[in-house]
Structure 1
Amino acid sequence: MATSSIYILGGAQSDFARNWARDGLSLFDGFAETLKAGLENTKLDAAEIEVGHVGNFVGELFAGQAQLGGFFGEVDPALRYLPAARHEAACASGSMALLAAMADLRAGNYQLAAVVGIEQMRNVPGHEAAANLAPAAWNGREWTDTEYLWPCAFAELIDTYRARHGLDKAHLAAISEKNFANASVNPNAQSRRWQFADNSFAEDDTANPTVSGAIRRHDCGQITDGAAVVFLATEERAQEYARARGLRLEDIPRVKGWGHINAPMLFSNKLKLQNPQGVLFPHVQQLFAQTLARAGMQSVRDVDGLEVHDCFNITEYMILDHCGLVPPGQIHRLIEEETFARNGALPVNASGGLIGLGHPVGATGVRMALDGFRQVIGTAGENQIANAKNLMTFNLGGSTTTCASLIIGR
């Protein structure tokens, strides 16, 4: 029986500071460890899982491995014949796996789904990693004259903002400082033990060297190895789960709203769609609107925090500039007021985000959903947002080509 509400029973995340290859682990090992940890955390038996979905971008290039749905059957004999599928949308791959699982449950095909997001990325040299990530753009048609495509791409976004609205890089540096500070208290963050000096976020060629154009080292999200899993359930199955554990259904977070939108592949074609008097990317603004509407909310002010895609600090800046809090080009005012700090009026990336926590590409959308779950049940530890009842995610792939969002709450 199809139901309109999808519930999150819990999950697990790997330690994003680990280098799997250095520890003698494979892509499968990361998958298996994280799935088993999620089953333990939720006290679910593997035999209860009815369908599996995997978010992964480039398993073939980094690990020489595709067909990741088959991993479920290698983790536990009860999953040997589990129907499963893999989903790819660059950095939004994890969110696509989540949306596919939600559709499966809403259609009444199954009642309980395991969604795994995973990527192994630290087992190759930097130049090879950069080449492996290039296909998230239209490879061979844009940013072809650089070895490091994505820093070049988002440096162009900085240049576009400067031309359109003006931009002070101090506001971007403040985003990085905030996210690294949040990550410093996250036990799963890649950068939790990193040390920074006063000039680490300055225009300093030694402490913060240039990568491409206006992009410097600490403007960048940190790719890493990592996996995350969440378990999604229909309302009927969540009710059974709650009853067996002495909980109320209201104690279990649910997906209150969701959004999914794609834009043309080429960055130049996206810019042609901008509103000359308004936002740079109308489709990003539209995603906020559709997600909030599905949740029955009027404004992003109706959520208590956000986990947004900060593959670079300019990406977080752009997303917040499109969320409707202030007129286009004015988001720097709220950055100056520390609105987005963990104790601010609207905390953003309390986990540390991609910059601080780390960005195993296929895992990020699932990790964001897991952080949303933890926030609204109050188990986010030192990263907890006070009195969080609703958390919104915003995950994107490519140069905002695929965008997806969830609102998770109780």
Structure 2
Amino acid sequence: MHGAHEAVDRAFRDEWGQVVATLIGVTGDWDLAEECAQDAFAQALQTWPRDGVPERPGAWLTTAARNRATDRLRRAAVGAAKLREVAAMERVQAGEPGNDGPDHDGTVPDDRLRLMFTCCHPALALEAQVALTLRTLAGLTTAEIARAFLVGEHTMSKRLTRAKQKIRHAAIPYRVPPAHLLPERTPAVLAVLYLLFNEGYSASAGADPVRAELSGEAIRLARVLTRLMPDEPEAVGLLALMLLHDARRSARFDAAGDLVLLEDQDRTRWDAGEIGEGTALLDAALRRGSPGPYQVQAAIAACHAAATRAGDTDWAQIAALYGELVRLAPSPVVELNRAVAVGMADGPAAALPLVEALDASGRLAGYHLLPAVRADLLRRLGRAADAAAAYRDALALAPTGAEHRYLRRRLAEVTEES
């Protein structure tokens, strides 16, 4: 039974986006698609422990969700035309990721990419576009998405509801748009992919600090997007950024699941193939002479990847790149990252005023990394008691077990020193 429950959990991570995307494509009803997908997973929790895990879990789940949608629509008496649409799902090879033939407009056929571009319609506010895609494509909870945007769960729930209503009332088509309309949706699509990757690379909540299936899906979709938009340097830059980060994944946690800081990682465990591909992609993007935020972030990641030892890291260059990133894509999180780089390049005394100004502004209220960075700077300055207080603040906000354990170790170190 335990193995069946694990299989359902794994199938949710692997198949949710495909099941929902397929149902939306056929029924055109976003709420119905999500509800029927949830019903299918609930049915799997009842059936798989008794009958065994099916050979193709995704196919089983899509069929169960399709049958549930058919029943719901029949009971609602929405008409034969809609039922014919649902019946068309019989022809879909459930559980296989999309089709490989051309889309209606001759572009990329992937169901999940269609879903992403539909969510990222310019009629929706940018934050709503990103949030809706993370909900429907990745199956992230409203609470997880709210944390990613640093807003309350109730606020995010209302945004998601309004976005779905807007798609329904405006009859926004479920498709990859024609080539001339791609640029207006590119910023939101790239933002979705990056948030999807980040949620996999460093989970915002839960026992597992990494959700490799999410970061892997983001990389896969980024590859599809670069084929769709080969002349878009920011799409290429984002793919480079993901690969350069993902190259470090296996070294970020030890055997006990505890977080290993970048400076302490075993760099021989970094994936040289991903680093090589990411660096080559970044070089190709930069040669176009139109640098953007994702290319700059990829350049920062490349600086880390180029250092064979932590002591060889060019922190001055990284601080300068963060300064450029603040100009291109200003945000309090970017400013915090720049402060970290300044602290490494010029010392903690140079960085602490930057962090304290951010703290005073209130723009990162509730963000656990702000007090964590402040605590680290205070620790390096020898102010153990102040550092301990900041570590306690960070502990109260940290969302994952791995981060809790790391912060508790740091707190114990400075408590012993004071």
Whose radius of gyration is greater, 1 or 2?
2
Tell me if TM exceeds 0.5: no
When normalised by structure 1's length, the TM-score is 0.27
More helix by share: 2
RCO (CA 8 Å, sep 6+): is it higher in 1 or 2? 1
